[in-house]
Amino acid sequence: MNVFAILAVVVLLAFIAYATARIGPRFMVRRLAGLVFVLLGVSFIIFILGFFAPGDAVFTQLGQHYTPQAAAALRHAYGLDLPWYTQYLNYLNRLIHFDLGTSFTNDTRTVWQILQLYVPASVQLGISGTVLALIVGVPLGILAAVRANSRVDASLQAVGLVFYALPSFVIIPLFFVAMVSLHQRGIPTLATSGWGTIDSEIAPIAIFGLGIFAYYLRLTRASMLEVLGQDYVRTARAKGVRERVVVWRHAFRNAVIPLLTAVGPALAFAVVGVFIVEDFFNIPGIGEETINAISQRDFPIVQGVTILLASAVVFMNLVTDVAYGLADPRIKTQ
Partner 1 sequence: MAQRLLDVQNLRTHFFTRSGVVKAVEDVSFYLDEGETLGIVGESGSGKSVTSLSVMRLIVPPGKIVGGKLLFQDEDILDMDEDDLYNLRGGKIAMIFQDPMTSLNPVYTVGFQITEAIRAHLKLDKSAAEKRTVEMMDRVRIPEARGRMNDYPHQFSGGMRQRVMIAMALSCNPQLLIADEPTTALDVTIQAQVLELMKGLAQEFRTATMLITHDLGVVAGTCQRVAVMYAGRIVEEAPTKTIFANPAHPYTQAMLTAVPRPDAERGARLETIGGQPPNLVNLPPGCSFAPRCRKAQPRCLRERPLLETVGPEQKAACFYPY
Q: Which residues bind partner 1 (CB under 8 A)?
A: 230-232, 234-242, 250, 253-254, 327-330
Alpha-carbon span 62 to 65, nearest angstrom: 5
Closest to partner 1 by CB, 250 vs 297, is 250
Closest to partner 1 by CB, 30 vs 147, is 147
What is the nearest approach in angstroms of partner 1 to the Cβ of residue 260?
Answer: 13
Separation of first and last alpha carbons in the chain: 36
What is the nearest approach in angstroms of partner 1 to the Cβ of residue 152?
Answer: 14
What is the nearest approach in angstroms of partner 1 to the Cβ of residue 217?
Answer: 21
**Dihedral sign computed on CA atoms, order 202, 204, 208, 210:** positive
Please, which contacts does 255-260 make with residues 24 or more away whose CB atoms are closer than 8 Å? 255/142, 255/220, 255/223, 255/224, 255/226, 255/227, 256/327, 257/324, 257/327, 257/328, 258/219, 258/223, 259/138, 259/216, 259/219, 259/220, 259/223, 260/320, 260/323, 260/324, 260/327
Closest to partner 1 by CB, 188 vs 240, is 240
Nearest to 72 by CA among 64, 82, 85: 82
Closest to partner 1 by CB, 169 vs 232, is 232
Closest to partner 1 by CB, 28 vs 247, is 247
Phi-psi category of residue 331: left, alpha or beta, with phi > 0 → left and psi -120 to 50 → alpha: beta
What is the nearest approach in angstroms of partner 1 to the Cβ of residue 258?
Answer: 13
Alpha-carbon span 91 to 78, nearest angstrom: 11
DSSP string across 299-323: HHHHHHHHHHHHHHHHHHHHHHHHH
Decide if 83 contacts 275 (C-beta within 8 A).
no
What is the nearest approach in angstroms of partner 1 to the Cβ of residue 158?
Answer: 21
What is the nearest approach in angstroms of partner 1 to the Cβ of residue 143?
Answer: 16
Closest to partner 1 by CB, 275 vs 324, is 324
Nearest to 175 by CA among 203, 214, 213, 136: 203
What is the nearest approach in angstroms of partner 1 to the Cβ of residue 253?
Answer: 5
* 286: CB partners within 8 A, 6+ apart: 115, 118, 119, 121, 122, 271, 305
Neighbours of 51 (CB within 10 A): 13
What is the nearest approach in angstroms of partner 1 to the Cβ of residue 221?
Answer: 16
What is the nearest approach in angstroms of partner 1 to the Cβ of residue 245?
Answer: 8
Alpha-carbon span 298 to 113, nearest angstrom: 15
Closest to partner 1 by CB, 183 vs 249, is 249
* C-alpha angle 295-298-299 in degrees, rounded to nearest 5: 110
Closest to partner 1 by CB, 98 vs 231, is 231
Closest to partner 1 by CB, 265 vs 325, is 325
